[in-house]
Amino acid sequence: MGAAQPRPLWEFAHERGMSRRRFLWLLSAGGASAVLAACTGTRVPAETLASTAPAASAAPDVGTAPWFKDPEPFIVRGTSGLEARLENMDGLITPERFFFVRNNSVSLDVDVESWSLSITGDAVPTEIALSYDDVLAMESRTLEAYLECAGNHRAMFDLVNGQAAEGTQWGTGAVGNATWTGVPLADVLGEAGVSDDAVSVILIGMDIESPEAGFRRVIPIKKAMDPDTLLVHGMNGATLPRDHGYPLRALVPGWVGSTSIKWLRQMVVSTSQQWARNNTTSYVLIGDAYPPEGQAEGKVATTQTIKSALALPWPAELDAGEHRIGGYAHSPAGRIATVEWSDDSGQSWREAQLVGPQSRLGWARFEFTWDAPSGRHTVTTRATDAVGNTQPDQVPYNHKGYLFNQPVPHPINVV
């Protein structure tokens, strides 16, 4: 009798619920080891998937990528997503084609005719389900807001402070600013008859290949009832794109982007605090400066931090002479009051000009003129918001690299 033949890798992966599109992408990005790691839950080494590389990974073949949009304008961050290049931005609103993508599996192509949103839990008298048409029939509002990954600037823990954090090494482009149209979550909860003793809401996505077979985040009922917390079906005046959560996603302005669950399918409303992977071990600040909260291993990452960044490549190269340099700043506390810049490692600061209108929940655009001398330089920016929050000189390290917001010294070679 001959030796048993090895089991086909695709058959093995398929039995564990992996889609063919994700299988092909993982195979092209990291080979059989990447597929096996995804099937077994083993962490894929950064060097295998190039998810921590400072430069873009190779773009996948058409039809195998875990997203629908053209990756060419982006920095490809392994299978985690597409980092925006801020130098592509022109104006306050980020066009969809330049808006970053952060996924925990692949972007979904949802059949809206069979889709529904269920609202359940012990704080709901009777479970209800809303169709897409039901959601569209409810009164909507449109607001401008920035959306930012909790790991935006993560690479700076290493590049600036010399202490690398775990996870995809996002630079400054895991952020974008858009107009969003949707139904206030409070109205949907009202439709479900949520009881007065409700404490928390868990939002669950359709992306069953992500952790917990549907990416999920818990928010307190107070944040759920905030009129700015929306269930979004439109982006920049058009139907919500597939990469950004079509047919429905949450939008929780000012909170880390993982809270704004994409491809929303279920909400569980409870009379007690709910705990899940993404508020116990992930999206948690773990380190000496962050005492554990409840069942979490550290401080749960919720509200974002004030940041600023130059709209230049990293590193940048300029000709010697005068340049008009621009960038973006944003704060969860509201409008930006000032942005300062320095070309001497923060020994002196000069004020940049804020350009254009600034919405309550959106980001601000700034510009300044720099007479660049030949040589290697760093230009650093520092933002302050209208209530007095300023980017700090130092951020205590956390193992997963969330919420870095020190002023970033941007390397520029002037020739």
Taking the C-alpha atoms of residue 18 and residue 35, their distance in angstroms, rounded to an integer, is 9
Question: Which residues contact residue 404 at a Cβ distance below 8 angstroms, ignoring those fewer than 6 apart?
Answer: 152, 153, 154, 156, 157, 395
Q: In this predicted model, what pLDDT tens digit does every residue of 59-71 receive, in sequence order?
A: 555 456 899 999 9
Count the neighbouring beta carbons within 10 Å of the beta carbon of residue 5. Answer: 6
SS3 category, 318: strand
Cβ distance 119 to 192 under 8 Å?
yes
Taking the C-alpha atoms of residue 39 and residue 26, their distance in angstroms, rounded to an integer, is 11
Residue for token digits 């005068």?
A: 322
Q: In this predicted model, what pLDDT tens digit does every residue of 170-194 receive, in sequence order?
A: 999 999 999 999 999 999 999 999 9
Cβ distance 202 to 272 under 8 Å?
no
Question: Which residues contact residue 336 at a Cβ distance below 8 angstroms, ignoring those fewer than 6 apart?
Answer: 306, 329, 330, 354, 358, 363, 364, 366, 383, 384, 385, 386
Cβ distance 180 to 140 under 8 Å?
no
Kindly state the helix (H) or strand (E) to which residue 29 belongs, with its residue range: helix 20-40
Percentage of the chain surpassing pLDDT 70?
85
SS3 category, 327: strand
Q: What is the pLDDT of residue 65?
A: 80
Per-residue pLDDT for 30 more than 90?
Answer: no
CA torsion 390-396-397-403 (nearest 10°) is -30
Count the neighbouring beta carbons within 10 Å of the beta carbon of residue 339. Answer: 24
Cβ distance 35 to 23 under 8 Å?
yes
Question: Which residues contact residue 363 at a Cβ distance below 8 angstroms, ignoring those fewer than 6 apart?
Answer: 92, 146, 175, 177, 328, 329, 330, 336
Q: In this predicted model, what pLDDT tens digit does every residue of 290-340 receive, in sequence order?
A: 999 999 999 999 999 999 999 999 999 999 999 999 999 999 999 999 999
HEC profile of 103-167: CCCCCCCCCCCCCCEEEECCCCCCCEEECHHHHHHCCCEEEEEEEECCCCCCCHHHHCCCCCCCC
Cβ distance 399 to 287 under 8 Å?
yes
Q: What is the pLDDT of residue 347?
A: 95
Q: In this predicted model, what pLDDT tens digit does every residue of 150-168 receive, in sequence order?
A: 999 999 999 999 999 999 9
Evaluated on CA atoms 260, 261, 267, 272, the torsion sign reads: negative
SS3 category, 221: helix
Q: What is the pLDDT of residue 355?
A: 96
117-300 maps to which CATH number?
3.90.420.10
Half-sphere exposure of 107 (CA within 13 A, CB side): 22
Q: In this predicted model, what pLDDT tens digit does every residue of 108-123 receive, in sequence order?
A: 999 999 999 999 999 9
Domain 307-414 -> CATH class? mainly beta
Task: Compute the average pLDDT of residues 378-390.
Answer: 98
Confidence of residue 79 (pLDDT cuts 50, 70, 90): confident
The residue extents of the domains of the chain are: 9-79, 117-300, 307-414
**Per-chain mean pLDDT for the chain:** 90
Q: In this predicted model, what pLDDT tens digit does every residue of 215-273 receive, in sequence order?
A: 999 999 999 999 999 999 999 999 999 999 999 999 999 999 999 999 999 999 999 99
Cβ distance 313 to 329 under 8 Å?
no
Give the CA radius of gyration of the chain: 22
